[in-house]
Amino acid sequence: MQLSDRDTYNRGIKRIMFTEDDIRAAVQKAGRFISEEYSGKPLLLVSVLKGAFIFLSDLCRAIDVPCEIDFMEAKSYFSDTKSSGSVAVTMDLRHDVSQYHVIIVEDIIDTGRTLSEIVKLIKARSPLSLKIVTLLDKPSRRVVELDADYSLFTIPDSFVIGYGLDLAEFYRNLPYIAEFNTDLLDE
């Protein structure tokens, strides 16, 4: 499968699950909720790279209270459509989280392994509070006990792409969220 080929790339988009408008409305709603909840509090948004960077970009602009941003990178997929089961933190935070109310901004909670490890790491650093906001929640795949405090969309067990989510680094640039056509993997 050669995703750099335009025809193959386009065949990878099985169906659009959430349009640009769906996402925009949900992000604005989440931004209002966070703004009300954290008014007057030192707020740090932590994006889990790479998948959540587009979501974080739109979400932080929907928040109308002061906030700071930091990044972590953790991987469990390693160019496949299924989690490997192991989590590697490849980039850590630069902020002292003990001075902030921290919101982890995640693209998708699937098995929960990656995010569970990130939550443990951040909790050990004693933030003022810690919450999770996820763009997508896939509870049918959960293998650890973990729930988001705020989820924009709940999805079935399908592999999704777009709006920052990828397959082997492709599809992040789609402005919507789509189901990936896994039949391409057999070609």
Catalytic residue among 7, 58, 96, 110: 110
Decide: 177 and 108 in contact? Cβ < 8 Å.
no
111 phi/psi in degrees, rounded to 5: -70, -30
Decide: 152 and 105 in contact? Cβ < 8 Å.
no
| 110 included as an active-site residue | yes
Query: Helix, strand, or coil here: 116?
Result: helix
Count other Cβ atoms within 10 Å, centred on residue 3. Answer: 16
| CA nearest to 136, candidates 74, 36, 44, 48 | 48
Structure token digits, residue 11: 């065949």
160 phi/psi in degrees, rounded to 5: -115, 155
- Whole-angstrom distance, CA of residue 97 vs CA of residue 125: 6
- Whole-angstrom distance, CA of residue 183 vs CA of residue 178: 15
- Active-site residues: which are they? 110
